[in-house]
Amino acid sequence: MTDSILSERRDGICWLTLNRPQVHNAFDDGLIAALTVALEQAGADPAVRAVVLTGKGNCFSAGADLNWMRGMVDASEADNRADSLRLARLMRTLQYLPKPTVARVNGAAYGGGVGLVACCDIAIGVDGSKFALSEVKLGLVPAVISPYVVAAIGLRQARRLFITGEVFDAATAARIGLLHTSVPAGELDEAIARQLHLLGKAGPNAQHEAKQLALRTGGADAARAERIDEENAALIARLRVSEEGQHGLAAFLDKRAPAWVGGL
C-alpha cells in the first residue's frame, strides 16, 4: 500500500488504516485512490473474511484535505465532477464490498469521514468522537455521501444535519444510527474483537448473501447507486464553481466567516 493507507492481514481480517495523522487522516486524491484499490483487493481475496477500517492517531477522518480543497477552488466544473466521481466510487466500493466491514471509529469523523462510517456494515466509535456534515457552511452539500448517510440515519435526521452542519457527539451518532454503539476509548479494541468473533461464527457465503439480502431488501442497488453518483457528482461540481461555493471555500481557506454568517 501507499503511505496514506496501511494494510495488514491478521487471522483472515484485513485491517485498513487511514495513515495521514498529521492532517487528521483527511482525504486527498492519493488516499482516495489507495483506499479504493485496497478495498477492491480485500473484496476479491478469498482469504479475507472481514475488513476493519480505522484511522491512525486520535482521529478517524477529518474529511477533505485543505490542499485538496484549494485545488477545488481553481478547478473547472468538469474537473470537479471527475474528482467527485472518484470519491463516489470509493464510497460505493465500501458500501457494496462482498465482505463484512467494520468501522473502528477511533476519533472525530467529518464530511467524507462520516460517509465512510455510514458505508460500513458495523460501526463502533469511542465516546469522545465528534461528527459533522458541515458542507453547507462552505456553500456546498454532502453530495456523494448522501445516499449512504441517509440510509444509515434516516431522512428525518439527515434533513436536520445536512442543513445545519452542526457538530454532534458519539451518543447522538449511536442514537440516530450512524454508530451501532459507542464505548470508552479503552474498550474500543475489545468491542471490535467481540464483533469480529461474532462474524467468525458465520458461513462466509451465507454472510455474503445475507449482506446482499439486507441491501436489496432495503432498496440499495449498486447499478442504481452509480447512476445517483453521476447526478450527485454533477451537483457538487456545479456548487463548487458557483459564486456561493467559491466564496465559501475561499472564506474557509482564509479562516474567515463567509458573508452569510449572522444573516439570521
Q: Compute the distance between CA of residue 77 and CA of residue 134 in angstroms, rounded to an integer.
A: 21
> C-alpha angle 205/207/210, rounded to 5°?
110
Q: Is 187 a catalytic residue?
A: no
Q: Compute the distance between CA of residue 257 and CA of residue 30 in angstroms, rounded to an integer.
A: 30
Residue closest to 52 by CA, chosen among 109, 97, 18, 101: 101
Residue 140, phi then psi, degrees to nearest 5? -125, -175
Active site residue: 8, 40, 77, 135, which one?
Answer: 135
Cell of 24: 487528521
Which residues neighbour 99 within 8 Å (Cβ) at sequence distance 6 or greater? 14, 42, 43, 48, 49, 50, 51, 208
Quote the distance between the C-alpha of residue 36 and its chain's center.
Answer: 12
Longest C-alpha distance within the chain, in Å?
56
Q: Compute the distance between CA of residue 226 and CA of residue 257 in angstroms, rounded to an integer.
A: 35
> C-alpha angle 104/161/148, rounded to 5°?
50
Active site residues: 135
